[in-house]
Chain A
Amino acid sequence: GDSVTQMEGPVTLSEEAFLTINCTYTATGYPSLFWYVQYPGEGLQLLLKATKADDKGSNKGFEATYRKETTSFHLEKGSVQVSDSAVYFCALSDDQGGSEKLVFGKGTKLTVNP
């Protein structure tokens, strides 16, 4: 079945450091790929997405490129802020059967220190 593997962390960085969170996937068909973020005590918010190969999703300085050849969707940010501290989830949605089901990775907790 479909699966998502992401580095579990935790990841601790200093403010203005470069961030990479690795994400790889296994899926049948042509999945859409997502990064969601969860702040303490809240639900998930979409950070960015890509729906086909070579698409780049970007938002709030975060970027990820859909790489079909390496089945990857790594999240990057050039300069993190304290406010980026949260848990980040990589997810996929397969295009089989029309369902909106998301398959998530285990999540990566990011802490950014001032």
Chain B
Amino acid sequence: KAGVTQTPRYLIKTRGQQVTLSCSPISGHRSVSWYQQTPGQGLQFLFEYFSETQRNKGNFPGRFSGRQFSNSRSEMNVSTLELGDSALYLCASSLGLAGGKETQYFGPGTRLLVL
């Protein structure tokens, strides 16, 4: 079974630009969550999508948005990039049916550098 894949793996952008990251979950998984990982703040939850609906959202500004498609693939978008958005962005997938008891499977991440 193929794991969670994320594209691109590395990205360099400049301040003010926007960026779109993609995540393909494990086949059959309907929940996709996104996390931001930085040395200072650690791992922070961005949002979760289940069956194309946002089910939960973390405390991030509106510049961070996401969506999920009917095949469960998900994208997240960051507009008007700031230097502080430089981070490793991880997505995780699961069946999404057990109310938090399931194992989440993480992708390798997209490393974003904002200059």
Q: Given the complex, which residues of B lie within 8 Å of A43, measured CB to CB?
A: 4, 90, 106-109
**A97 → B minimal CB distance (Å):** 7
Q: Shortest Cβ distance from A5 into chain B, in angstroms?
A: 12
CB within 8 Å of B: which of A12-67?
A: 31-32, 34, 36, 41-46, 49, 51
Q: Flag B8-33 by CB within 8 Å of A: 1 or 0 each.
A: 00000000000000000000000101
Tell me whether A95 and B108 are in contact (CB under 8 A): no
Q: What distance in Å separates the Cβ of A3 from its nearest Cβ neighbour in chain B? A: 11
Q: Are A49 and B48 in contact (CB under 8 A)?
A: no
- CB distance A32 to B106 under 8 Å? no
Across the interface, name the chain B residue whose C-beta is closest to A98: B99
| In contact, A89 and B43 (Cβ under 8 angstroms) | yes
Contact of A99 with B107 at beta-carbon distance under 8 Å, contacts A32-B101, A94-B100, A104-B42 already known: no
Instruction: Provide the residues of chain A in CB contact with B43, threshold 8 Å.
Output: 89, 91, 102, 104, 107
- Closest CB-CB distance, B63 to chain A, in whole Å? 20
On whether the beta carbons of A102 and B107 are closer than 8 Å, the reply is no
Q: When chains A and B are docked, how far (Å) is the Cα of A98 from the Cα of B102?
A: 11
Q: Is B33 a contact partner of A100 (Cβ separation < 8 A)?
A: yes
Q: Min CB distance, B18 to chain A, in Å?
A: 24
Q: A102 to B104, Cβ gap below 8 A?
A: yes
In the assembled complex, how far is the CB of residue B92 from the closest CB belonging to chain A, in whole angstroms? Answer: 8
Chain B: minimal CB distance from A37 (Å): 11
Answer yes or no: B64 CB below 8 A from chain A CBs. Answer: no
The B60-102 residues at the A interface (CB cut-off 8 A) are: 90, 92, 94, 96, 99-102
Residue of A nearest to B105 (CB): A46
Closest-CB distance, B16 to chain A (whole angstroms): 29
> Which residues of B lie under 8 Å from residue A94 when comparing CB positions?
100
Cα of A49 to Cα of B101 in the assembled complex, Å: 9
> Which of chain B's residues have a CB closer than 8 A to the CB of A101?
33, 45, 48, 56, 58, 100
- Given contacts A32-B100, A41-B108, A43-B106, could you give 4 more A-B pairs where the C-beta distance is less than 8 Å? A42-B108, A51-B101, A99-B56, A107-B43
CB<8 Å pairs between A and B, sample of 6: A31-B100, A46-B103, A46-B104, A99-B56, A100-B56, A106-B42
Closest 3 CB pairs of A and B: A93-B100, A43-B106, A99-B56
